Amino acid sequence: MLQPWRTGKIIQIVDETPTTRRFWIEVPELDRFDFKPGQFVTLDLPIHEAKNKRWRSYSISSWPDGSNVFELIIVQLEGGLGTKYLFTEMKVGSELTLRGPQGVFTLPETIEKDLFLICTGTGIAPFRSMAHHIMRNNIPHKNVYLIFGSRKECDCLYANELKDLQEKAPWFRFLPTYSREEARDGILTGYVHSVYEDVCNDIRNKTGQPLNPAYFYLCGWKNMIDEAKQRILALGFDKKDIHLELYG
For residue range 64-74, what is the model confidence (pLDDT) as tens digits?
999 999 999 99
What pLDDT was estimated at residue 212? Answer: 80
Domain parsing of the chain, residue ranges: 5-102, 114-247
Q: Residue 74, class by beta-carbon neighbours within 10 Å (0-12 exposed, 13-18 middle, 19+ buried)?
A: buried
What pLDDT was estimated at residue 248? Answer: 55
Q: Which CATH superfamily hosts domain 5-102? A: Translation factors (2.40.30.10)
- 8 A C-beta contact, residue 47 and residue 82: yes
d(CA 33, CA 45): 20
What pLDDT was estimated at residue 162? Answer: 95
**Mean pLDDT computed over every residue of the chain:** 91
| HSE-CB for 154 with a 13 A CA cutoff | 4
114-247: which CATH architecture?
3-Layer(aba) Sandwich (3.40)
For the chain, residues with pLDDT lower than 50 are: none
